[in-house]
Homo-oligomer: A and B are copies of this chain.
Amino acid sequence: LIAERAAALFDSGALAGLRLVITAGPTREALDPVRYLSNHSSGKMGYALARAAAEAGAVTTLVSGPVHLDTPAHVRRVDVESARDMLDACQALVADCDIFIACAAVADYRPATVREQKIKKGGEHSSLKLIRNPDIVAAIANGTPRPFTVGFAAETQDVVDYARDKLQRKNLDLIVANDVSKADLGFASDENEVTAIWRDGASQLPRATKHNLARELVALIAERHASAGNRGDSAL
């Protein structure tokens, strides 16, 4: 059923005329000129979504952390490193954006200070002071203008419960819940299985290649965006 819906949407170019911004990949948070904190996000899911969105006719911009992937055809790409860079890039794009998809694995914390010189080894124990990064998807979902906003929840336990909570807490239109504890799925894998959740509904998307899953998700997002009308604007 979902696959049929996806095929129908792609045939009709259902996202034609819509402008999508998609974040992808990890962020890197510098400690000093050589060291950083990061995570295992490969960027594959976000890149697959950008490809699927462009195929469905959307004007698509990828805001990408450091990954080793080719930019999909007909997609504009803006490269960033840190969470703060990514927020700046997204805020610069949001005025011309109908649908915002936050697929990047943004570092929750960054080192409180960034040293200009490489930090020398000290004693046997050390500690690193951290400070919270901006919450990019919440900033976009609570900003003006406000696009239809889609978040991701990559968790290792209580995945769907946590995602529902995050949907409400961050004022999102849709959230895609992703269990990254399964070693053969998720971050570095070419396959994934997710649950899409919105205010009054949910849809389980079974295991598939990230490319096929991205097409199904883009179809679902287009459908939810259409049925929501301009909820974003009316919520102001």
Interface residues of A (CB under 8 A from B): 31, 33-41, 68, 105, 107-109, 112, 117-118, 121, 123-132, 154-157, 180-181, 187
Contact = CB atoms under 8 A, between A and B. Distances in A.
Contact of A127 (B118, B130, B180): B130
Contacts of A35: 37-40, 107
Given A68-B68, A117-B157, 18 more contacts: A34-B39, A34-B40, A34-B180, A34-B187, A35-B39, A35-B107, A37-B37, A109-B121, A109-B126, A117-B181, A118-B154, A118-B155, A118-B156, A125-B130, A125-B131, A127-B129, A127-B130, A128-B130
A105 B34 contact: yes
4 A-B pairs closest in CB distance? A126-B130, A128-B128, A118-B156, A108-B121
Contacts of A156: 33-34, 117-118
Contacts of A112: 125
A156 B124 CA distance: 23
A118 B180 contact: yes
Contacts of A37: 31, 35-37
A129 B125 contact: yes
A128 B127 contact: yes
Contacts of A105: 34
A33 B180 contact: yes
Contact of A34 (B118, B131, B154): B154
23 contacts: A33-B156, A33-B180, A34-B39, A34-B40, A34-B154, A34-B156, A35-B37, A35-B39, A36-B37, A36-B38, A36-B40, A68-B68, A109-B126, A117-B156, A118-B156, A118-B157, A118-B180, A121-B132, A125-B131, A125-B132, A126-B130, A126-B131, A127-B128
